[in-house]
């Protein structure tokens, strides 16, 4: 149902509809579709297929940027049944149909690449092994198994230091595969409690080797991954996503401000396309898009440290997005739930048109319902 509370007048002077450049990516507007896990790849094999190409093609716009959903860099990286991969030839061929659909509408698309680390289950791991992490710290709550059934989290195995080059290599190869699949770049997922974030934050990183302890050591794996991926393709086609002060998936750090100041500053020396920052202000558990005025303004703080283009994400609506762009806190804004329900979201925002309501019950897994059946204007 359309939300009639939305404004109904066009605002052509909106700062969201001015050009911007994110590294090698030249955008005609600043309304970004962020990576949204939907768990609808073809099984077996976690292969993107025609339904995924239709979904992304619907949401493409001329000069607009789509960041495709988090995608496994290896079999070990798997953590969600139905999430796609980019480590097999069949997966690469499937992704080519997706990128072709987006490019046919004049859009740009980059692929978010991830390793879920401890946010997995042995039923999804090669040989039934327990998931890996920075340290053997069990996440709170529960997860799902390979069939999507609820299960308790398992205690992960701490990666050995001699295994870490293999993790870096998997990210590097994923970037090469993404390039072969026709993507315009890649985004490295270092947010929301997945493997790279597990190394960054001291609530999950209890290591005593060169990957643990100090800020420099805990950031080492992320920076090695970034350097390997940039070396395999081009730094100006690589973005990184972080979630400072985020607690999703049981994350915590004793001094997140200092940690992410260091991370942003180090990333800023590498000529990357952008830094994608998940605002801790977002209320992730309701549909109100409420913002906590007492939480840090992460985009403003880390934009200064990073010094390059920034995408802000987390609970934004048109008015708040326009504000952060106008005041220079971010160069572009990502709208997640709104893009799920509004395949033509940039045009709706441009016109001030009513928005479709999203259906949370169809967010994860399933078929075409709640995926490619939301109406566009007209």
By annotation, the residues acting in catalysis are: 194
Q: Kindly provide the b/e burial profile for residues 52-68, where b requires at least 16 CB atoms within 10 angstroms of the residue's own CB.
A: bbbbbbbbbbeebbbbb
Q: Are 281 and 321 in contact (CB under 8 A)?
A: no
Helix (H) / strand (E) element for 310: namely: strand 310-313
Residue 72 contacts residue 115 (beta carbons within 8 Å): yes
Whether the CB-CB separation of 135 and 205 falls below 8 Å is answered with: yes
For residue 243, CA distances in Å to 91, 165, 207, 357 come to 28, 24, 21, 26
Q: Which residues contact 223 (CB under 8 A, 6 or more apart)?
A: 266, 267
Q: In the numeric block, which tokens belong to residue 180?
A: 């072969």
29 and 334 in contact (C-beta within 8 Å)? Answer: no
Distance of alpha carbon 48 from alpha carbon 208, whole angstroms:
40
Three-state SS sequence of 102-159:
HHHCCCEEEEEEECCCCCCCHHHCHHHCCCEECCCCCCCCEEECCCCCEEECCCCEEC
Decide: helix, strand or coil at residue 163. helix
HSE value, Cβ hemisphere, 13 Å, CA-based, for 249: 21
Backbone angles phi, psi at 201, to 5 degrees: -100, 140
Closest of 225, 175, 183, 190 to residue 65, by C-alpha: 183
Query: Among the residues of 5-105, which ranges form H helices?
Result: 50-59, 89-104
């Amino acid at each position: 149902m359309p939300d009639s509370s939305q404004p109904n007048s066009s605002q052509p002077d909106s700062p969201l509809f001015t050009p911007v450049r994110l590294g090698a990516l030249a955008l005609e507007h600043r309304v970004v579709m962020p990576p949204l896990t939907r768990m609808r790849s073809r099984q077996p094999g976690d292969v993107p297929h025609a339904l995924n190409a239709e979904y992304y093609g619907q949401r493409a716009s001329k000069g607009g940027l789509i960041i495709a959903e988090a995608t496994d860099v290896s079999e070990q990286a798997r953590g969600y049944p139905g999430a796609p991969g980019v480590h097999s030839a069949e997966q690469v061929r499937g992704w080519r149909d997706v990128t072709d659909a987006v490019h046919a509408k004049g859009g740009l698309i980059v692929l978010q690449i991830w390793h879920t680390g401890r946010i997995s289950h042995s039923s999804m791991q090669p040989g039934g092994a327990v998931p890996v992490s920075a340290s053997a710290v069990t996440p709170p709550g529960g997860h799902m198994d390979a069939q999507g059934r609820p299960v308790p989290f398992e205690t992960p195995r701490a990666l050995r230091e001699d295994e870490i080059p293999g993790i870096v290599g998997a990210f590097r190869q994923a970037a090469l595969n993404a390039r072969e699949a026709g993507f315009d770049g890649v985004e490295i997922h270092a947010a929301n409690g997945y493997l790279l974030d597990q190394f960054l934050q001291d609530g999950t990183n209890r290591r005593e080797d060169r990957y643990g302890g100090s800020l420099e050591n805990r950031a080492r794996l992320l920076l090695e991954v970034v350097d390997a991926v940039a070396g395999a393709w081009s730094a100006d086609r690589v973005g990184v996503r972080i979630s400072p002060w985020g607690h999703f998936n049981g994350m915590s750090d004793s001094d997140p401000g200092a940690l992410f100041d260091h991370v942003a500053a180090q990333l800023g020396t590498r000529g990357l396309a952008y830094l994608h920052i998940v605002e801790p202000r977002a209320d992730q558990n309701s549909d109100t898009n409420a913002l906590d005025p007492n939480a840090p303004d992460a985009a403003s703080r880390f934009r200064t440290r990073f010094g390059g283009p920034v995408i802000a994400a987390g609970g934004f609506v048109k008015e708040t997005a326009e504000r952060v762009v106008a005041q220079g806190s971010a160069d572009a804004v990502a709208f997640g739930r709104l893009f799920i329900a509004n395949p033509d979201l940039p045009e709706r925002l441009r016109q001030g048109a009513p928005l479709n309501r999203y259906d949370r019950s169809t967010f994860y897994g399933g078929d075409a319902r709640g995926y490619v059946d939301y109406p566009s204007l007209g």
